[in-house]
């Protein structure tokens, strides 16, 4: 990854315009932490349920206002996954999420998904990848957005299962699969417990982003960096520890922050704990994301609006962090230059 830095005062890079006339919608954005299942719209979920004759508990699709933990938050996915077990539903889900992102003026998105969670009925691993890749192709052909994929292994799965997943991905060598992640219950399966499997994926040549620090454990974030993560999903356990944040900066690792989701899972008590003014002042890489548009009931524009409402970020700074994020996308140098040209 290039270690080139954007200088916040460099007008040519930030392309300042009159802040009075620029809105959140106007800013071209990048989203690097968006889950396919948790972002499939309610409308499509209901449509798929009707087509497949599946009865859903609709109240389980959205996180409860009284959610007390990450584990409780994750229970929503069990209901959504019931309708995402066919090639047709997966293809349409990708297009659906891309449409939502496009409405937020997202120019580049990395959508992550766990293929093995879509093989509960008749689909093979190959079927799942084919369907999701077809969705990417259709979306990019019909919208002004570039899409790549991140494949999530599940922390709770046996090492042999995840290693077989990485073997298949390496053999398939998909043009749009750009990295791997480990999702699922972080506290029960911290990075050191899955170290061997993480290394197995790295040895296959995959870019690595890791969910870490979402359950209050700062050690998990630091361990993720040591294990080779180029980005950390959430990472909020370290956001008020200056020494840890400086370590993030030294290693040129980006934090994939998901504000509204982090409040819902009780990863943070309130938005000030994100420590965004310090991150900006110290040039510590981070980008704002939705995590799960439907489960969290959010959009990327809403995430930024929420931060602006609490005076944690300005329009100019939103533009800056999105431009800077190009350097941390899992893209080739040529692709990064092409992306910068449309930002």
Catalytic residues: 214
Going 202 to 204 to 209 to 213, the CA torsion angle's sign is negative
Which 8-state DSSP code applies to residue 291? B
- Whether residue 169 contacts residue 202, with contact meaning beta carbons closer than 8 Å, is answered with no
Backbone angles phi, psi at 34, to 5 degrees: -145, 120
* Alpha carbon distance 231, 209 (integer Å): 5
HSE-up (13 A, CA, CB side) for residue 146: 22
Q: What secondary structure does DSSP assign to 104-140, as a single string?
A: TTEEEEEEEE-GGGG-SSS--HHHHHHHHHHHHHHHH
Q: Which residue has the tokens 């891309």?
A: 98
* Alpha carbon distance 177, 20 (integer Å): 39
- The three-class DSSP label of residue 170 is helix
């Amino acid at each position: 990854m290039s270690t080139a830095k954007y200088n916040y005062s460099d007008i040519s890079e930030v392309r300042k315009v009159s802040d009075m006339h620029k809105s959140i919608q106007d800013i071209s954005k990048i989203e690097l932490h968006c889950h396919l299942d948790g972002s499939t719209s309610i409308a499509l979920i209901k449509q798929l349920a009707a087509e497949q004759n599946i009865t859903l508990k609709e109240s389980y699709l959205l996180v409860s206002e009284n959610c007390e933990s990450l584990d409780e938050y994750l229970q929503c996915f069990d209901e959504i996954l019931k309708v995402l077990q066919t090639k047709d539903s997966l293809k349409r889900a990708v297009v659906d999420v891309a449409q939502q992102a496009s409405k937020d003026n997202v120019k580049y998105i990395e959508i992550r998904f766990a293929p093995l969670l879509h093989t509960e009925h008749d689909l093979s691993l190959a079927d799942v990848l084919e369907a999701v890749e077809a969705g990417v192709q259709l979306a990019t052909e019909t919208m002004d957005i570039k899409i790549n994929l991140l494949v999530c292994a599940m922390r709770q799965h046996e090492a042999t299962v995840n290693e077989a997943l990485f073997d298949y991905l390496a053999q398939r060598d998909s043009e749009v699969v750009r990295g791997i992640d480990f999702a699922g219950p972080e506290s029960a399966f911290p990075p050191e417990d899955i170290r061997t499997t993480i290394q197995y994926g790295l040895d296959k040549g995959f870019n690595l982003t890791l969910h870490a620090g979402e359950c209050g454990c700062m050690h998990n974030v630091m361990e993720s960096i040591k294990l080779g993560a180029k980005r950390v999903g959430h990472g909020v356990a370290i956001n008020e520890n200056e020494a840890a944040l400086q370590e993030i900066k030294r290693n040129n690792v980006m934090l994939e922050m998901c504000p509204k989701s982090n409040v819902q899972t009780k990863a943070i008590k309130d938005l000030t704990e994100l420590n965004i003014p310090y991150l900006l002042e110290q040039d510590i890489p981070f980008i704002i994301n939705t995590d799960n548009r439907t489960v969290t009931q959010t959009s990327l524009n809403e995430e930024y609006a929420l931060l602006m409402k609490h005076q944690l970020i300005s329009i100019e700074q939103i533009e800056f962090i999105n431009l800077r994020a190009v350097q941390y996308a899992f893209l080739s140098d040529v692709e990064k230059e092409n992306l910068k040209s449309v930002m």
